[in-house]
Amino acid sequence: MWTGFARAVRIVPWPVKWRVLRIAATGLLLAGGLLALLYHLPQPLRGVIALPLSLLIPVAVYAAWCLWPRLRWGLPASLLAEPPCPPDQRLRLSFDDGPTPGLTEAVLDLLRQHGVQATFFVLTHKARRCPDLVRRIVAESHTLGLHGEDHRVALFRSAADLKASLGRARDELSALAGQPITLYRPSHGWKNLALLRALRALRLRLVFWDHGVWDTDAPPVEILIQRLRWATPTQDAATVRPPIRPMILLHDGRDDRLTPPAHAQALLAALAAWLPSLRQTARGGQQRL
């Protein structure tokens, strides 16, 4: 667990790390200031103020659980899923926010060229514009999952709203693909209790990821390749048992935008250089670039 966490932290860009550190430092300073204030208040006032302040702790814990995909405490196994991974593939790839004409087909071409399988979590308002790409994903034996009707997050939405929206999206995507849809990835990986109730009613299962490589920040190709290599296990695929084999998050689109995103060319160049390393040779070793 700690090895995977350390690898994930290593991949996160430094601007994001600094932002998280600033938020954490601000929270600690505020907590310290409130404790100091309570200490200097008269005893009657101290008790009156301490109770509402103590309620902030569970609120902060719940907010962290909602916003951090790696926090999966309390999620029942029946609501979680792990997409398949070929036995000779070192990790699992997943793509969000597509399909996007001009990018998704190029990604599929590269995956087919290198014999790599992936999972695509699609937005139905995009899928209905290019059903041929949805059918190609299925025809080429990739796994198809739902990302939603659009890219709105689940936070501050009711269970009834989420159930209606995801139910419509699931049914539409099932019709386009010609197969049942059972997997769902929430936008940004954000979750709440209302979402869990909606998924349980719809019999959809959550899929998160282990490593994001921040491709939508449009880093230079060399940086993106470096992040992908950092996320790749060093062990032979045969020695890594699912679901320990990590899943990488990539994007063949960007939010609700219909045109190819700014990171499209860097993503394709990085995949062309990195994908050959994901499959084993006949001797069981890693293919070299």
Task: Give 167-179 pLDDT, tens digit per residue.
Answer: 999 999 999 999 9
Question: In the predicted model, is pLDDT for residue 113 greater than 90?
Answer: yes
Q: DSSP character for 7?
A: H
d(CA 89, CA 114): 11
CA atoms within 13 A on the CB side of 236: 8
d(CA 254, CA 50): 44
Residue by residue, DSSP assigns 115-139 as T--EEEEEEHHHHTT-HHHHHHHHH
Question: In the predicted model, is pLDDT for residue 102 greater than 50?
Answer: yes
Average of per-residue pLDDT across 180-206: 97
CA distances from 53 to 48, 50, 59 (A): 9, 5, 10
Q: Beta strand pairing status for 92-98 and 118-123?
A: parallel
Average of per-residue pLDDT across 3-14: 70
Model confidence at 10, in pLDDT bands (50, 70, 90)? Answer: confident
Residue 211 sits at φ, ψ, to 5 deg, of -140, 120
Task: Give 49-75 pLDDT, tens digit per residue.
Answer: 777 777 788 888 899 999 999 899 999
- The three-class DSSP label of residue 114 is helix
Give the closest residue to 260 by CA, choosing from 137, 154, 130, 148.
130
pLDDT, residue 288, reads: 39
Neighbours of 251 (CB within 10 A): 24
Average of per-residue pLDDT across 190-217: 96
Percent of the chain at pLDDT exceeding 90 = 68
Residues 6+ positions from 124 with CB-CB distance below 8 Å: 146, 148, 149, 168, 169, 172, 173, 176
pLDDT, residue 37, reads: 74
pLDDT, residue 234, reads: 74
Q: DSSP character for 245?
A: S
